[in-house]
Amino acid sequence: MSARGNGVGLTILGRRPSAEDESSSSAGETDPGPDVLVIHILPKLWAGAAERDPVFRLPAGTADDADDGSGRGSRTLEVAIHEQQILALEPEWALSLAEVARDTLVDDPPLPSPGEGPQADGRAAETGDAETGDTGTGDVETGETDPLWREVPATAQIREAWRGEVPALPRRASDPADPVRFLWDLLSRLGCEPARGPEQREPTPGGVDLLPDLPGLEDLVHRQFLKDTERALLHRRPTFLPVTEELGFVRGRMDPQGLIRRTSRRRIPVLCEFDSLSADSLLWQTVRGAVQIAAAEAEDEEVRELALTCDAQLRDVTVEPAHVLLSRGMPGSELQRMPPETRWAYRYARAVLARRHGVDPEESPDMAGVLVNLKYVTSALWEHMVKDYLDRVLTPGGLEVEEQHRLAVFFTEQEVPDRGGEPRYDPVSLKKPDLVVMCPVKTGGHAPDAQGQALAVLDAKYKRLPWGGFAQASMGDQYQLATYAYRLEVPAFLAYPVTRAPSERDVESLVLGDPGATSRQATGPRRSRRLRVGAMALPFPHPAGRSLAQCRTDAEHVLGGGGLAGLIADLGG
């Protein structure tokens, strides 16, 4: 999976019965294996020595899978695998996963022949590595647009996995060092969102109950629900609702039983049945109940703000207890007459209410195929992390860190007669350095100008730190960094993740030779200030004791003082 190591996330599969399963079922045999497979894809940097085997298999199914304690109802198996590892799957699972797996990657060379063709009795899936090959194009990180899963031929080692001769993935266990919860907490804290693509499968209302209880996933469901609600509110109109109420005058139809009780009790009000135009319907009461849950539980500030905005637009709707809303339902014929956005908002609302209060969902998803498939680009996660570190060190001093700074490197030259023979230069192929440290330029009114002064460039590389430092980085990375340094005349560094505690010694600074200098000389006649390039190691959180807070503290020691901040100060930043 994640063949080039640039994708973490979650896949939930429903088993698609094979021919053998169907024949066993017709013979009355029962299969103790799971019906639902939950696979968490973790960063490759977290793979320990015992987990670095390239091929794994699923653990054997047992009758215990029928009650896994997750509350999701169906027989569920939950496992975790790391980027670039291969998972050997039996046909019933492979048939499901094939919906979102490719057998080739964009700008990816063909796989070397393993000497054996693909086997008909099963397949293997490999998880998306930014360090295998330097084939990226433009400013897209290698593997960024890859699918989360890639189908690979069944080799001898993969067939051994089906016979149980290779390690089995451990079942996910809930403990304080749970890497799955650690990952989703990290994604949530750094505000990461899943990548968009044809292979993405977000949870449907019927599949919400299958999601593990993780903070990032809760926000994902709430965000999708609130977006549907926001669209549905555009179509919100009052409707005629049946009302039964005692009035001092006759409206609509008098209730016969009410007339009998009125006479026996000698009461003046008349019990009437009539239709009243109102927006306070069961539909919007259900939606508002789920909106308030999202507002109270959302970890993401944007999700919470969206929930509060939707709730303000529903302030004329009665707040009913969840059990009352779930005990009532809207007829299917009425749902079909609604706009699609309103129907989806209502279905998501019931799913959110049911999940929050531990009620079995009324909708069951199609349990075959890919139920959920979410990829988070790990290079983007690492870029967000490095920016977070830089912000904490540099912004107190008035500096800014700009992501994906648009930088023109190449220009076309055109003669313009009305400019006195002065040519016009038009930029082509804009580049986007990951992170540029800027000093805002103050205008006369003391407001920052749109264009500030660049002070340094950092390119976040989600790859293992080369043992020889910058000199052992790929040639593409070296040329890229040298181009940024020459173009902006600032120091430029590659930032690599490490799971240990780095120090200031992990900042490597090399002098970049002057343009026009002889081939083996650093200095030349055209430049007075030395430009520097290099590589630095910054901490990547790890579930075994290296929290994001600890990494932030370690990064301040590397970047502050004599690190990048000191280098910027020495250069007059």
Please, are residues 430 and 406 in contact by the beta-carbon 8 Å criterion? yes
Please answer whether residues 316 and 280 qualify as being in contact, where contact means their C-beta atoms are separated by less than 8 angstroms: yes
- Return phi, psi of residue 341, to 5°: -65, -40
Closest-CA residue to 569 (of 449, 403, 456, 448): 456
> What is the rounded distance in angstroms from the CA atom of residue 2 to the CA atom of residue 86?
9
CA–CA gap between residue 315 and residue 531 (Å, rounded): 60
DSSP strand pairing (410-414 vs 55-57) = unpaired
Nearest to 102 by CA among 15, 198, 226, 5: 198
Positive or negative, the Cα torsion across 139, 143, 144, 147? Answer: positive
Q: Which residue has the tokens 């304690």?
A: 69
Dihedral sign of CA atoms 474, 480, 483, 487 in order:
negative
Identify the DSSP state of 99. T
Q: How far apart are CA 507 and CA 203, in angstroms?
A: 43
pLDDT tens, N- to C-terminus, the chain (573 residues): 666 788 999 999 887 665 555 555 455 555 556 788 999 999 999 987 666 668 888 887 654 444 444 444 457 899 999 998 888 888 888 888 888 887 654 444 433 333 333 333 444 555 544 443 433 344 566 667 888 888 887 777 666 666 667 788 888 877 777 899 899 989 888 888 888 888 888 888 877 777 887 767 888 888 888 999 999 998 888 877 777 888 888 887 888 888 878 888 888 888 888 787 777 888 889 999 999 999 998 877 888 999 999 999 999 888 888 888 888 887 878 788 888 888 889 988 988 888 887 776 555 555 678 888 999 999 999 999 999 999 998 888 888 888 888 887 778 888 777 766 678 887 787 888 889 888 877 544 444 445 678 888 999 999 888 888 888 888 888 988 888 888 888 889 999 999 988 877 788 888 877 777 677 766 666 665 678 888 889 999 999 888 999 999 999 888 876 667 766 765 554
403/53 Cα distance (integer angstroms): 36
Contacts 24+ apart (CB under 8 A), 420-429: 429/138
Q: CA distances (Å), 207 to each of 222, 323, 334, 476, in order?
A: 13, 20, 22, 43
80 touches 39 (CB < 8 A): yes
Residue pointed to by tokens 């075959």:
368
C-alpha 534/C-alpha 6 separation (Å) is: 23
Axis crossing angle, helix 215-233 with helix 301-313, rounded to the nearest 10: 30
Residue 375 backbone phi and psi in degrees, to 5? -110, 135
Specify the amino acid at residue 184.
Answer: W
Q: How far is the C-alpha of 363 from the C-alpha of 352, rounded, in Å?
A: 12
Which residues contact residue 412 at a Cβ distance below 8 angstroms, ignoring those fewer than 6 apart? Answer: 425, 426, 428
Report the Cα 437 to chain-centroid distance in Å: 26
- Nearest Cα neighbor of 78 from 39, 35, 23 is 39
Beta bridge partners of 495: 460, 536
Q: Which of 5, 2, 153 is nearest to 88 (CA)?
A: 153
Break the chain into its structural domains and give their ranges: 380-415+423-518+527-572
